[in-house]
Chain A
Amino acid sequence: MPNQDKSKEKESRPTTRRDFLRGAGNYTVASLSGAAMLLADPKPAKANITWAEHFQKNYRLMTEEEKQEAIERLETRYSEEYGKKVTVDGTPSIEGVLFGYALNIQKCIGCRRCVKACVAENNQSRGDEQQIEWIRVLRMEKGNFSAEDRDQHGYPESFGVQVGGNAYKPAGVVLEGQHYYEPEQVPEKDAFYFPMQCMQCEKPPCVKVCPVRTTYRDPDGIVVIDYNWCIGCRMCIGACPYWARRFNWGEPNLPKEEMNPVTHYLGNRPRMKGVVEKCTYCVQRTRKGRWTACVEVCPVGARKFGNLLDPNSEIRKVLAKKKVFRLRADLNTYPKFFYFMD
């Protein structure tokens, strides 16, 4: 039972809450029951906050005041939990902006700095127990790829996930790439690299299947998640053809000193266990006119980001002049994440 000690403290009253939830749904009842809980809880302020969080509406349906309240509650709770001033931003999408991304697969050297930068920026869970990464860089073999070879020999030891099973032989990754490579040095001679992350589809299958509308497409084209409304049914994980979504199986492990205190409500604020998360094009940065963390860190300039509605933007120039393709275009998801070659 990993994680038990720390999560016990936080989640010791799930049944009581759930029982109350049935009839309740407004703050009056919430504060009454909150008062009852004061008697039992050593940290009354925090208890009230989490209690109110339980009753809050879906973010998209909140009035401006309610949004402000929710944000203040989170700021108080996070600041206390992480021992520093944490800001939670609620900046909505900007009129006339549709974010798009383009990645030059010819330039990518597979260094995975983007993966690391993303984890640091977006407060993902880290550590052996539960490591969440929003970007996966696939290593693709150059030259003739023979499926027979792969089937007969498999990948060398330690490649491929072998979780909870009994793999007598090395597991294989059957498509042309795998994301567990550990080379001495990148780029490798016989490989090129293919990073994947959330494609921010214009027709996102994940949004369609979400039974509670907790994940939705904002007007600037970013598919976001209200972590406080997610019920953890994982329909979206099943529906995503790009394997972009991650689930918090246990309480996320986010060390205080590594926590990034500049957060957005729909973006990189710390998550709780049992909810889904994914790339948000660094909504906390991009809505303030900054690059995403992965664009900023890329040492070879393989990553391009910008406003698809602005004819003079770099991304539009890439789309106009380069050889561009999208992943699994046959599924009609219309990704706003493009791959290109010079």
Chain B
Amino acid sequence: MMRFTQFVVDFLRAGFTGGILFWCWMLFLAFFIMLWGYGEYVQIANGMIVTNLNDQVSWGFYLANFVFMVGVAAAAVTVVFPAYVYKHKELHRIVILGEMLAIAAVVMCLLFVIAHMGRPDRLWHILPVIGIFNWPHAMLTWDVIVLSGYLLLNIIGGFYYLYKKYAGGEVNKAFYLPIVYIAIVWALSIHTVTAFLINTMPARPMWFHSMMPIKFITTAFAAGPSLIIIVFLLVRRFTPMKIADEAFDLLSQIVVWCLGIALFLTMSEIVTELYPATEHSLGLQYLMFGHNGLNSLVPYFWIALTLMVVSFVLLLIPRLRKNLTLLPFICAAAFVGIWIEKGMGLMLPGVIPTPIGEFAEYTPSHIELMVVGGVWAIGFFLLTILLKGAVAVLLGEVSYQPQTDKRPVSSEQGEAAI
């Protein structure tokens, strides 16, 4: 127990040690976290009237970001799966970093859900045992199960491995490997269930098709590894952690193929919906072309599509894909493209027009922007701490010292920024 406490303290200390760049980054994030606190306060005090949501458009920016982040969380599996199933050596060394990313992403998901709720003070109503859990009927209860399960699996798996590394013991494979394999399947489940959450409602024809889960997973496995590539490149740049080029090569291949499938599915959807162009396709038509001058979503769609197509084409060319200076920019384009496509571009046409055919334009209010920006900041804050701590443990910079005097964290590590 002593040893574990020591682990937590050392992990956090490593996480919070850094140079001027590190502290600037943290301060930058802290600013947005303060805005989040203010936004949440205003929203809780006044109700959701401070958002631009209304009875016509009752789901918006919060849920859009939630859906996207579930995908990013699930995408940790693109590191874990090749590492354990295909025994990819280079990915195996950094698999923990993927799990840290998943933890940060799931925490963000939970914060988005809380922001979306009209009565966050009644959150306990949805917890099993102390509240009422409409399981298995309500899809949202499935989401609660898979998301919290995924968070637990990653925390237990990730930190068990790190702790063993820290304390110098052998990893108990009979305990650890089942967690890893369960987490792989579980990752798919979180995004599948999130798709089922919205595509099981015939009242919303834009979402009501069986392609939704696979489209969610392909876009997630394009956006997630894109972010992972960027994060790993930063880790390689700012810490002594060695990440081989092969790791990036495999990840960028995953991105390009998933992006390709996602684009194919998008095309299938457009043809299927627009060829007969029934009233059920009005959501998609509104997204792509606007309606009677109501066209605030049109740029979203075309920007997203352009970003996705361009990054797909660029990544198809091996010379560009293997260029690690260019790669993060292509990845950023793919990431942003999917964030728009699967966020606002998916959420809003689902609720516009309303079931009685009414169009209402929606743009997020200042409070919504503050809260969402703040949750992203919290995510990056958490990710920075987790990654720095994990890297320090993996490199053996912090390890358990039987004596009570604590070994100082190495100063090279201290210089490292992110």
A205–B356 touching, CB < 8 Å: no
B292–A273 touching, CB < 8 Å: no
A233–B116 touching, CB < 8 Å: yes
Residue among A196, A242, A249 with max Cβ neighbours from chain B (10 Å): A249
Q: Does A54 sit at the interface, judged by CB under 8 A?
A: yes
Q: Which of A3, A166, A276 contacts B49 (CB 8 A)?
A: A3
Complex Cα spacing A173 to B117, Å: 29
Q: Which of A173, A238, A250 contacts B59 (CB 8 A)?
A: A238
- Apart from A249-B51, A275-B119, what are 9 other A-B pairs with CB-CB below 8 Å? A22-B124, A58-B125, A161-B360, A162-B361, A174-B357, A232-B48, A273-B48, A273-B118, A274-B118
Q: Does A126 sit at the interface, judged by CB under 8 A?
A: no
Given A166-B296, A167-B293, A241-B202, decide whether A212 and B361 contact each other with a Cβ distance below 8 A: no
Query: Do most interface residues of chain B lie in helix, strand or loop, or is the interface mixed?
Result: loop
A231–B293 touching, CB < 8 Å: no
A4–B121 touching, CB < 8 Å: no
A18–B291 touching, CB < 8 Å: no
Q: Does B85 sit at the interface, judged by CB under 8 A?
A: no
Q: Which of A171, A209, A251 contacts B138 (CB 8 A)?
A: A209
Min Cβ gap A103→B in Å is 16
Given A154-B293, A239-B201, A241-B203, decide whether A18 and B121 contact each other with a Cβ distance below 8 A: yes
A sample of 5 cross-chain residue pairs with beta-carbon separation below 8 angstroms, ordered by A number, consists of A161-B54, A162-B361, A170-B292, A172-B359, A179-B356
Q: Which of A18, A130, A209 contacts B120 (CB 8 A)?
A: A18
Complex Cα spacing A154 to B295, Å: 14
B125–A208 touching, CB < 8 Å: no
A7–B47 touching, CB < 8 Å: yes
What residues make up the interface of A, taking CB atoms closer than 8 Å to B? 1-4, 7-8, 11-12, 14, 17-18, 21-22, 25, 54, 58, 61, 129-130, 136, 138, 151, 154, 160-175, 177-179, 196, 205, 208-214, 229-235, 237-243, 245-251, 273-276, 331
Report, nearest first, the 9 A-B pairs whose CB atoms are least far apart.
A232-B118, A165-B361, A169-B293, A175-B357, A250-B49, A274-B118, A273-B47, A241-B203, A211-B140
Min Cβ gap A154→B in Å is 4
Complex Cα spacing A173 to B355, Å: 11
Chain B 194-229 per-residue mask, 1 if CB under 8 angstroms from chain A, else 0: 000010111110000000000000000000000000
What residues make up the interface of B, taking CB atoms closer than 8 Å to A? 42, 44-59, 116-126, 130-134, 137-141, 144, 198, 200-204, 279, 282, 291-294, 296, 351, 353-363, 365
Min Cβ gap A110→B in Å is 16
In the bound complex, residues from chain A placing their C-beta under 8 Å from that of B47 are 3, 7, 248-251, 273-274
A232–B355 touching, CB < 8 Å: no
B46–A234 touching, CB < 8 Å: no
Complex Cα spacing A59 to B69, Å: 35
Complex Cα spacing A169 to B359, Å: 12
Residue among A160, A166, A240, A274 with max Cβ neighbours from chain B (10 Å): A274
Given A211-B134, A214-B125, A241-B202, decide whether A165 and B363 contact each other with a Cβ distance below 8 A: yes
A211–B292 touching, CB < 8 Å: no
Min Cβ gap B41→A in Å is 9
In the bound complex, residues from chain A placing their C-beta under 8 Å from that of B55 are 237, 243, 245-247
Query: Do most interface residues of chain A lie in helix, strand or loop, or is the interface mixed?
Result: loop
Complex Cα spacing A162 to B358, Å: 10
In the bound complex, residues from chain B placing their C-beta under 8 Å from that of A234 are 58-59, 116, 118
In the bound complex, residues from chain B placing their C-beta under 8 Å from that of A58 are 125, 132
A161–B358 touching, CB < 8 Å: yes
**Interface Cβ pair total, 8 Å cutoff:** 231
A229–B122 touching, CB < 8 Å: yes
Min Cβ gap A221→B in Å is 19
B362–A163 touching, CB < 8 Å: yes
B357–A173 touching, CB < 8 Å: yes
A238–B201 touching, CB < 8 Å: yes
In the bound complex, residues from chain B placing their C-beta under 8 Å from that of A163 are 52, 54, 56-57, 360-362
In the bound complex, residues from chain B placing their C-beta under 8 Å from that of A245 are 55
Min Cβ gap B82→A in Å is 35
Find the B residue at minimum CB distance from A216. Answer: B134
Given A14-B44, A161-B358, decide whether A231 and B126 contact each other with a Cβ distance below 8 A: yes
Complex Cα spacing A240 to B123, Å: 23
In the bound complex, residues from chain B placing their C-beta under 8 Å from that of A169 are 292-294
Q: Which of B48, B137, B200 contacts A250 (CB 8 A)?
A: B48
In the bound complex, residues from chain A placing their C-beta under 8 Å from that of B126 are 211-212, 231
Min Cβ gap A210→B in Å is 6
In the bound complex, residues from chain A placing their C-beta under 8 Å from that of B357 are 173-175, 177
B292–A172 touching, CB < 8 Å: yes
A208–B138 touching, CB < 8 Å: yes
Min Cβ gap B38→A in Å is 11
Complex Cα spacing A325 to B373, Å: 49
Q: Which of B45, B131, B293, B353 contacts A170 (CB 8 A)?
A: B293
Complex Cα spacing A29 to B134, Å: 26
Given A240-B355, A241-B202, decide whether A231 and B361 contact each other with a Cβ distance below 8 A: no
A21–B121 touching, CB < 8 Å: yes
B117–A331 touching, CB < 8 Å: no
B132–A61 touching, CB < 8 Å: yes
B123–A162 touching, CB < 8 Å: no
Min Cβ gap A197→B in Å is 12
B119–A230 touching, CB < 8 Å: yes
Find the A residue at minimum CB distance from B358. Answer: A173
Complex Cα spacing A249 to B353, Å: 20
B54–A211 touching, CB < 8 Å: no
Min Cβ gap A44→B in Å is 20
Complex Cα spacing A205 to B50, Å: 28
Given A3-B46, A169-B292, A212-B132, decide whether A174 and B359 contact each other with a Cβ distance below 8 A: yes
